Structure 1
């Protein structure tokens, strides 16, 4: 995430909102970095093994993001896109710490993908 690049998050009082594109029924659970859509908006790309039935994929996404950022799952909630691929997650906590974790996560995911 360069300085001028769109960010996959928005800071708010008490945390950040993270924009995510979720792919359910994947072969693995993973965050695969940041993607910029045709409309110029950025989002984290995430995959989960869970199926999109009865909220299973959403629950898996919350756990995946919480673990990846090192925060309790109870601090992560889906605030929009419950039944859509594009979702907004609200993560409670210190915005500076969360942004640093998001940047580290994005860099690590993109480096891992480039080695494949």
Structure 2
């Protein structure tokens, strides 16, 4: 898994591009962009929850410290690390 611990500072906004219904769960950095692949379908916020959980694990923080601030229904999302 990609280590993103250097981004775990409170107040940091992390932009990600999400691919739901992927064949496997992964985080990759491609062309200076964080790409998150999750196997869940984008129904009822399940994919957002999976992205939040995976991103929190890569950051080494609790998922409750990540807040989705933009992109609730879009592939491009922005999460904020809370203190």
Bin for the TM-score computed over the shorter chain? 0.7 to 0.9
Aligned residues: 76
Structure 1 distance, partners of 2:10, 2:57, is 19
Normalised TM-score (structure 1): 0.60
Is 1:54 the counterpart of 2:62 in the alignment? no
What secondary structure does 1:77 align onto? strand
Is 1:87 the counterpart of 2:83 in the alignment? no
Normalised TM-score (structure 2): 0.83
Runs of 4+ in 1 over 3 A off after TM superposition: none
Larger Rg computed on CA atoms: 1
Q: Which has the higher contact order (CA 8 A, sep 6+)?
A: 2
Stretches of structure 1 lacking an aligned partner (at least 5 in a row): 1-10, 37-42, 94-116
Stretches of structure 2 lacking an aligned partner (at least 5 in a row): 1-6
| Structure in which a larger fraction of residues adopt helix | 1
Are the aligned partners of 1:33 and 1:44 in contact in 2 as well (CA < 8 Å)?
Answer: yes
